[in-house]
Amino acid sequence: MNGKKPVLEIKGLRTQFFLREGVVTALDGIDLTIYENESVGIVGETGCGKSMTAYSILRLVPHPGRITAGSIKYKGNELTTLDIDRMRSVRGTKISMIFQDASTALDPVFTVRDQLGEVISLHQGIYDKAALDKKILEALELVRIAAPRDVMRMYPHELSGGMKQRVMISLALSCSPSLLIADEPTTALDVTIQGQILKLLKALVAKTGSSMMLITHNLGIVAETCDRICVMYAGRIVEDAETFELFANPRHPYTAGLLVAFPKLGEKKAELPVIRGTVPDLMNPFKGCPFVDRCDKALEVCSKQRPSRVAVSPGHFVSCHLWSGGG
């Protein structure tokens, strides 16, 4: 698009869960490209499929779910058909992930040294103790942990929430991946610690030159951290644009609704504007737009035909009939 090389290209990705009660379409045709040195934010509410996008990219979709259609290309190589061993070499070294809850993502019975050491020796083939220790110290110093020598010997329960998340980040970055997926990296943290972690993530991504996909429900976080934002709703990306463009000209009614529903500091309103209703059930396939029941501007065509992705301005895409000539 702008001369940059894409790191990840997702086309028409569909992930479905085959339950006894029926089929849940968690992801319904995701198109997403992440370029080099770019941080992309994925925003949406609970159950909209943000985390499932990440799991699908890494092929970690839990049973009984599976990818049923579409392609995911990492630097031109198709990931959806890769065999397990080759996929394992992609995870960690090329694409790595930071999970939401660091306290459950770290193994409670191994020390920080063991866990970092395992990743580094598996992916980089370093087994010598002294060399490994040096690498581990470097990885911990990178995420600015105080007294890394002490932390190395500690078990996860001895670390605070912020420290655990720092260890998680050092785990994810220890093999210098070209794409880092951060799934709600600060949701479990306090606001002052959240600030520290976001600052760190931003600095590290800039330093290592990798791309980042930041998944969050917090619009404030993406506004401050990301270059481009994708808004997801009910398993689809409904709008994607550069950060400044999206916040200045939200085109999809859902995006516009989300932006105003968020109480802003220093703005006193008697009532917050709301999006009525609740998120739809993904068990029933949608004929048209999934947002139709909650949308104030819905047209007749909205409940009948699936809106296609159209460009409203260069680099700003929206899936809404209001913009695709329906109105």
Partner 1 sequence: MGPESGPSNAGEPLIEVTDLKKLFPVKKGVFGRVVGHVHAVDGVSLSVMRGETLGLVGESGCGKTTVGRAILRLVEPTDGKVVFNGQDVLGLHPGQLRAIRKRMQIVFQDPYSSLDPRMTIERIVGEGFAVHGSPKGSKDPNVAKRERIHELIEQVGLSHDHLSRLPHEFSGGQRQRIALARALALDPDFIVLDEPTSALDVSVQAQALNLLKRLQSKLGLSYLFISHDLSVVGHMSDRIAVMYLGKIVELAPADVFLRHALHPYTQALIASIPMPDPKMRKDRKGIEGEVPSPTNPPKGCRFHPRCPKAFADCGWNAGDLADWLKANGQTDQDGVVAKDAAKVREDGFVLGFWLRAGSEPLALLKFLREVTTRSKAEVPMFQAVQAIDTLIGNRVIELRCMPLRADRHGGKSKSGGKKLPSKLVADKVYHAIVDSYTSDSSHNLGRLLLPPEVKGSRVYVRVIGPEANWDTLRTSLRAFFEKRKAAGERFAGSVKGFSIRKAKGPKLSVVVKFKPVEEPPTYDLGGGHMVSCLLCKHGEPPAP
Asked if residues 232 and 50 have their Cβ atoms less than 8 Å apart, the reply is: yes
Within 10 angstroms of residue 268's Cβ, the number of other Cβ atoms is: 6
The H or E element that residue 215 is part of is: strand 211-216
Asked if residues 156 and 116 have their Cβ atoms less than 8 Å apart, the reply is: no
| Of 153, 244, 285, 311, the one binding partner 1 by CB under 8 A | 244
Nearest approach in angstroms of CB 97 to partner 1 is 21
Nearest approach in angstroms of CB 68 to partner 1 is 27
**80-98: string of b/e by CB count within 10 Å (b at 16+)?**
bebeeeeeeebbbbbbbbb
Q: How far apart are CA 4 and CA 8, in angstroms?
A: 12
> Smaller CB distance to partner 1: residue 13 or 102?
102
Size of the site for partner 1 (CB under 8 A): 50
Per-residue contact flags (x/-) with partner 1 for residues 32 to 71, judged by CB under 8 A: -------------xx-------------------------
Cα 22 to the center of its chain, rounded Å: 27
Binding of residue 146 to partner 1 (CB under 8 A):
yes
> Smaller CB distance to partner 1: residue 136 or 219?
219
Within 10 angstroms of residue 262's Cβ, the number of other Cβ atoms is: 11
| Of 122, 223, 256, 301, the one binding partner 1 by CB under 8 A | 223
> Smaller CB distance to partner 1: residue 126 or 223?
223
Chain residues binding partner 1 by CB under 8 A are: 45-46, 146-147, 149-150, 160, 162-163, 190-196, 198-199, 217-221, 223-225, 243-244, 247, 257-259, 261-276, 278-279
